[in-house]
Amino acid sequence: MTDPQAVVLNETIQKENPAVYAMLSERGKQIFFPKMGILAQSAQAKGKDINATIGEAVADNGKSMYLPEFDNYLKLEVENIFPYAPSFGKPELRALWKQFIYKKNPSLGSQTMSLPIATNGLTHAISMAGYMFANEGDSVLIPDLFWENYDLIFNKSYGATISTFNSFSNNGFDVAAFAQAMAQVKGNKIITLLNFPNNPTGYTPTVAEAEQIQQAILQEAEKGKQIVVIIDDAYFGLVYEQGVFMESIFTKLCNLHSNVLAVKLDGPTKEDYVWGFRVGFMSYGIKNGSAALYEALEAKTAGAVRGNISNINVNST
């Protein structure tokens, strides 16, 4: 039976945009971020003389209890190292990353998107996207030259099928093959994943191709298809040639059509050369996306994070 807390989120999503509800996997429909139980009790206990609700040791000064030997190695504030971070990610970190997205993608302008949810690197963000949207038996459309981990995530973990289409024709992205592959998907829901610059080829579409990709997706959306576009921006910014699309393809999709949900996965791993930090983000954009819709999707995503890894290990901004 669906938990009443998930029902509330599902009803919100259905009311705000029924197409988005139809895109959710069964797992995505069941998941919620718990507001009752231990988290509610912790909130109630805040500021009380005795707080016996949460599994963290606190010293008499109210800060985390920790072994003094750490003082020799760590320079950050105690409260930025030892306590749990929220499953959503620290609010300051989420706000800062969203600010970066707008700064690095000027054509986003005043278009709206969700706040990013913090994940344990992009790999985990891809897995959370699979959790939210991929049912067993769904197909995930990907160009035929792709990062092999997509298979471990979508197929081996979630039971979806990877369907590929030809990556290139005439020295460019094969938009026709992409359009044809989308048109051939059975049923109303299409899940596709775009990764630019692409691993393994390094390819990023030209400005004209980015527009053609946008049009191909729009065409399917106008036919009534509900399309989840997962955007793996792991190598965002590593673009140097004239005429190549410099921004994330998210900018072309996040306000395209109310049947197109753009799911942006990004993070500092390769953008900022911090491979071992294990920080990533998952953000949503859809035409006419309301605050209520985004908050419900964020709550579900944070619930999925909580049920997998609890929270990421970065507390500090």
Site for ligand PLP, residues 37 to 76, rule: CB under 6 A: none
Site for ligand PLP, residues 218 to 247, rule: CB under 6 A: 232, 234
195 binds ligand PLP (CB under 6 A): yes
Going 267 to 270 to 273 to 277, the CA torsion angle's sign is: positive
CB of 234 vs ligand PLP, minimal distance in Å: 3
Which of 28, 89, 121, 143 is the binder for ligand PLP (CB under 6 A)?
Answer: 121
Name which of 244 and 274 has its Cβ closer to ligand PLP: 274
Query: The tokens 């963290």 sit on which residue?
Result: 56
Name which of 224 and 276 has its Cβ closer to ligand PLP: 276
Structural tokens at position 232: 């793996």
Site for ligand PLP, residues 254 to 293, rule: CB under 6 A: 267, 269, 280
Per-residue DSSP letter, 244: B
Q: Are strands 139-143 and 189-195 parallel, antiparallel or unpaired?
A: parallel
Task: Determine the size of the site formed for ligand PLP (CB under 6 A).
Answer: 11
Name which of 296 and 304 has its Cβ closer to ligand PLP: 304
179 binds ligand PLP (CB under 6 A): no
Helical segments of the chain, H only:
4-16, 18-23, 26-30, 37-45, 91-104, 121-133, 149-150, 175-184, 207-222, 250-253, 268-271, 291-308
Name which of 220 and 266 has its Cβ closer to ligand PLP: 266
Name which of 123 and 259 has its Cβ closer to ligand PLP: 123
250 binds ligand PLP (CB under 6 A): no
199 binds ligand PLP (CB under 6 A): yes
Name which of 125 and 260 has its Cβ closer to ligand PLP: 125
Which of 20, 101, 117, 122 is the binder for ligand PLP (CB under 6 A)?
Answer: 122
Neighbouring residues of 248: CB distance < 8 A, sequence distance ≥ 6:
101, 104, 105, 196, 231, 233, 236, 264, 266
123 binds ligand PLP (CB under 6 A): yes
Q: Is 1 exposed, middle or buried (0-12, 13-18, 19+ CB in 10 A)?
A: exposed
Residue whose C-alpha is closest to residue 122's, from 218, 29, 195: 195
Helix (H, G, I), strand (E, B) or coil at 63: coil
Name which of 280 and 289 has its Cβ closer to ligand PLP: 280
167 binds ligand PLP (CB under 6 A): no
Name which of 175 and 234 has its Cβ closer to ligand PLP: 234
Stretch in the footprint of ligand PLP (CB under 6 A) among 12-20, 116-124, 213-221, 239-247: 116-124
Structural tokens at position 189: 């829901």
Which of 97, 147, 245, 284 is the binder for ligand PLP (CB under 6 A)?
Answer: 147
CA 154/CA 159 separation, integer angstroms: 6
Residue whose C-alpha is closest to residue 85's, from 129, 116, 110, 119: 119
Virtual torsion, Cα 174, 198, 258, 293, nearest 10 deg: 170
Q: Where along the sequence are the contacts to ligand PLP (CB under 6 A)?
A: 121-123, 147, 195, 199, 232, 234, 267, 269, 280
